[in-house]
Amino acid sequence: MKLLMDVGNSYCKYVTYQNDTFSAVSLVQTHLINQSWLESNFPFLEQCLVSNVSHERFNDSVSSWCKSRGINHCFIKSEAEKFNVQCSYDDPSTFGVDRWLGLLGAEKLFPQQASLIIDSGTATTIDLLSSTGKHQGGWILPGIDLMFSSVINNTNKVFAKSENIKKIKFASNTSDAVNQANWAATLGCISTAISTAHQHYLQPNESLNVILTGGNAQQLSQIIEVEFKLIENLVFIGMNRYNANKSA
């Protein structure tokens, strides 16, 4: 069995992979993960793959446990090129590993096809991958919750409750106005990204896969008005391409 962990500052998402099948995505608070937690949850493990934007001490703990159990393990970092995918950043080490794994996942699922990857979580990231596997660059904007808290925490007399919405419309009260605007801004950015891709990066009549992933992908899928593919485990599809026996 293979364990794949996507570690954030507050939470860790993880799946197992066995018999060519992913488990459902699970979530645990990052600070709860230690060697005892790993031992109790994964007594029979062959490989462990980790992408980590949190603290290095997390890697130390996982590495110590894996070594004590003889488990092959790998801590994945962004690279200039891997699996026919090329990163556009001059310094790939500054490219978020979650974005990197999203590119690898998209290329795995849709080889030789252009893809726009929208990962909507704490931040919303948008990355364009060409049909030849070249990362064309991307954007980062605040996620829905960050936009909401920014308005509430930095204005006077704006009171609102964060809520999901069923469709985009003009609001008749302050709370709805904030929520609607956050989603409208996100959709507007996605629309501009699609337009920019077609105008400046794709061949005439070339198709574009619009991929939704991340914590807000389900909600986004209910209000977006373009054809899309919802792939909630995209990061893990990219991560699973690595082999812990051959650390990259």
Measured CA to CA, the distance from residue 150 to residue 182 in angstroms comes to: 11
Q: Which of 62, 65, 37, 43 is nearest to 52 (CA)?
A: 62
Residues 6+ apart with CB under 8 A from 151: 158, 160, 178
Find residue 81's DSSP bridge partners: 86
Measured CA to CA, the distance from residue 189 to residue 195 in angstroms comes to: 10
Torsion angle of the four alpha carbons 246, 5, 82, 140, in this order, in degrees rounded to the nearest 10: -160
Measured CA to CA, the distance from residue 208 to residue 193 in angstroms comes to: 11
Measured CA to CA, the distance from residue 113 to residue 208 in angstroms comes to: 7
- Name the residues annotated as catalytic: 98
